[in-house]
Amino acid sequence: MRLRRLGPLEVSVVGLGCNNFGGRIDEAAGRDVIDAALDAGVTFLDTADIYGGAGGSEEIIGRALEGRRDRAVLATKFGKPMGDGATRRGSRDYIRAALQASLRRLQTDVVDLYQHHEEDPDTPLEETIGTLDDLVAEGTIHAYGTSNYRAETVRRARALAGAGYVSEQNEYSWLVRDAERELLPTCAELGLGFIPYFPLASGLLTGWVGRNPPPEPGTRGRPRTGRASARVGRRARRLAARGRDRRACRRAAGRVGDRRRDEAGAGACERGGRRVGAERGRARGASSALRGVRHLEGV
């Protein structure tokens, strides 16, 4: 497994998105997936406090990593509504309380990458970034990032931040390429890593999904068929017409990574993004769990 620098962190180019833990898959299946990911050399695990129902994903990860925390680079997020009525979810007090809760659920004393999950229009950005810089200085997080930020807000954050600000996470795939307009160039200019989520469009780009037959009921791909699958088909045919197969896809992803020094996950074109089945992840055994390692399929 290739590794790449993300600020002070060294992460695998393929990461494991843990947004389905405690939701679509239970703890036993989640542990199977984590085991398979670690065995494959995946070190980067990405979750959020909101995943799995107010901390469920973090709790599963914390128990699964007991006794082997040193094998993983843990990334989590804060700032989405947790159902507790809290507002100003980028404020100093909120961030500190959210971090303590995540540390407890993850059973660790430090988060490697702590990410603000969305912009908070009610809190000055100076307060959010200043608090995260303080947490780096205190040693409770190693680095921090943003997620779902606009390019102009990323630029403002970079101007305010210290060296601990290392990444932006946003949606990016062959199907959804909006980030190419402003966000990716901005990150490259500012020396920030870019972490893509849904790199294979929740499984639509794996080659396993088509209109005939459509995805099975209850799977993640089911609601995204129709127009979306038609778009995938048209794009796939264009790529095929130009002689681009999976090897070409991997080469293209590698070139993106070479251009962006700290980008985490550009090599996820083929191996990342293959979804974990909703049916407890056991039917196909450990080899299926390994194929299910997805690259940052969370938001």
Query: So what's the pLDDT on residue 288?
Result: 31
Question: What does DSSP say about strands 15-17 and 141-147: parallel, antiparallel, or unpaired?
Answer: unpaired
Find the mean pLDDT for residues 3-11: 95
Which residues is 222 bridged to in the sheet?
A: none
Which residues is 78 bridged to in the sheet?
A: 116
Query: So what's the pLDDT on residue 297?
Result: 38
Q: Which of 11-20, 222-231, 269-278 has the lowest mean pLDDT?
A: 269-278
For residue 298, name the pLDDT band (cuts at 50, 70, 90): very low
Helices (H), ranges, the chain:
27-39, 51-54, 56-64, 92-106, 125-138, 151-160, 183-190, 227-241, 246-259, 285-291
pTM: 0.76
Q: For residues 197 and 171, is the Cβ–Cβ distance under 8 A? A: yes
How much of the chain, in percent, has pLDDT values that exceed 90? Answer: 62
Residues 6+ apart with CB under 8 A from 240: none
Indicate the DSSP class of residue 275.
P
What does the alpha-carbon distance between residue 102 and residue 52 come to, in Å, rounded to a whole number?
A: 13
- Checking if the pLDDT of 241 tops 60, the result is yes
Kindly report the CA angle at 82 between 268 and 95, in degrees rounded to 5? 80
Catalytic member of 51, 114, 165, 197: 51
Per-residue tokens: 16 = 């494991």
Q: For residues 52 and 35, is the Cβ–Cβ distance under 8 A? A: no
Q: 3-205+256-291: which CATH topology?
A: TIM Barrel (3.20.20)
- Checking if the pLDDT of 283 tops 90, the result is no
Taking only the tens place, the pLDDT of each residue in 55-94 is 999 999 999 999 999 999 999 999 999 988 889 999 999 9
CA dihedral 282, 286, 290, 291 (to 10 degrees): -60
Query: So what's the pLDDT on residue 261?
Result: 37
Per-residue tokens: 34 = 């984590």
Is 51 an active-site residue? yes
Taking only the tens place, the pLDDT of each residue in 254-264 is 443 444 333 33
- Checking if the pLDDT of 152 tops 80, the result is yes
